[in-house]
Amino acid sequence: MAFPDGFLWGSATAAHQVEGNNIASDFWAMEHSGVPMFAEPSGDACDHYRLYRQDIALLRELGFTSYRFSIEWARVEPEDGVFSRAAIAHYRDVLEACHEHGITPMVTLHHFTSPRWLMRLGGWEYDGTPDRFADYCRTVMAELGPLIPYACTINEANISSLTRRMIEDMTAARSADTPDGGEQAPVGVSAESVESADKARDWRTPGAAALGTTPDNLNLFLFTWTDHGVDVIRRAHVAAREAIKEVSPATKTGITLALQDYQPGPGGEKAADERWAEAFDHFLPAMDGDDFVGVQNYSRVVVGPEHALPHPEGAELTQMGYEFYPQALENVVRRAASAGLPIHVTENGIATDDDTRRVEFVRRALEGVERCLSDGIDVRGYYYWSTFDNFEWMLGYRPTFGMIAVDRATQERTVKESARLLGRIAERNSLDDDIG
């Protein structure tokens, strides 16, 4: 079948992961603070801050119709209340490059990284953060709003709840004895992630020193695990949406959520429902007034009565330790439709060094989207994560999610077959005759 007219076919990036030298951000400081949870610093990343025009042109050449990227708060407001005209001009040119090439931009206004100065105030536990974030969004949209048809306020606003659950599952799995007396494999995380978490137990002290704040104030977005912090994030989304609508009412605005396909194992029905409610339902009140919801999915989690269960025996695992399970996307899209909002798949992808598996993953994921559309679910776009092999936070450059490889010594781009495949699908707006 053909996808609906105007369906957006794109790929996604985040500023800190591809731009390079994001020196005013909290993560840059943390990467250089001596905390061993970071495999390596981000450095020049993919040098996308300099090479964005050639990269956008390449996406258009491949057949893509949209590009999701983030504007970096730390660049736009490097000090509290001080806005960089140069940074705003840069992002104006990025947006204009998209429009010149017939690429519809979808902008994310916060993708995990925050300005250093926010940590001196208390970060994402600080009650004033929603107002400050809204001021930044208002400034950006007042300047650039006419160029931004779609704005995601916060990427994976629920991610702290998911990471907290992941660590709980990991701890339970590692403490449980297997029949041979060893430890069960942690669920849904790579061995490198486990090692990184072990090394990070005292990350606040050196991190706070690097950021010129106290350990109690060092509340990074990714590690804001308290109920109060989650409430601050929800309020920040609402405040940002109101600010955007005030200065750029034509911009369609929403939030993106990280959504695992929680499937019940034996006795796990209640626990699986509780996890979905925590990840999705708890954000529904904050989404009242949104124009769309961004769904981000990579795999499934099978849940027992208390914790996630080990992967099925013989399951194919990705570089991230996730189960290869592309059909998860269809399941979460169907559940997310309960919000009554149009859906954009703002991230879906796989970390692998075997691009044939990426091709298969995309094929099967899109078949699920196609079935959702056939059943009347309002899905309006699909964005593969990620455009490039890029900086994957604490794991550095080892995981390769990208459809385009990057030689970090030369910054040369090499297009993979998965990019050509998705581009062909975009050009035809159909899966027919493209993959089999």
Q: Is 31 a catalytic residue?
A: no
Residue 252 CB contacts under 8 Å (≥ 6 apart), including other chains: 149, 150, 151, 291, 292
Q: Are 427 and 57 in contact (CB under 8 A)?
A: no
Q: What share of the chain is helix, strand, coil (3-state, %, to 5)?
A: 45, 15, 40
Q: Which of 31, 156, 323, 347 is catalytic?
A: 156
Contact 254, 290 (CB under 8 A): yes
Q: At what angle do helices 159-175 and 269-279 cross, to 10 degrees?
A: 150
Query: What DSSP string describes 188-257?
Result: S--HHHHHHHHHTTT-HHHHHHHHTS-GGG---GGG--SHHHHHHHHHHHHHHHHHHHHH-TTSEEEEEE
Residue type at 187? Answer: V
Give the whole-angstrom CA distance, residue 161 versus residue 143. 33
Could you give the dihedral angle defined by the CA atoms of residues 193, 197, 198 and 204, in that order, rounded to the nearest 10 degrees?
150
Instruction: Kindly report the number of other CB atoms within 10 A of residue 258's CB atom.
Output: 22
Alpha-carbon distance of 118 to 130, in angstroms, equals: 11
Q: What are 344's two structure tokens?
A: 């954009």
Cβ-based burial of 227 (10 A; exposed 0-12, middle 13-18, buried ≥19): exposed
Report which of 293, 423, 280, 417 is spatially closest to residue 355, judged by C-alpha positions.
Answer: 417
The answer to whether the bond into 386 is cis (omega within 30° of 0) is yes
- The Cα 351–Cα 379 span in angstroms is 24
Cβ–Cβ under 8 Å, residues 251 and 151: yes
Supply the residues annotated as catalytic: 156
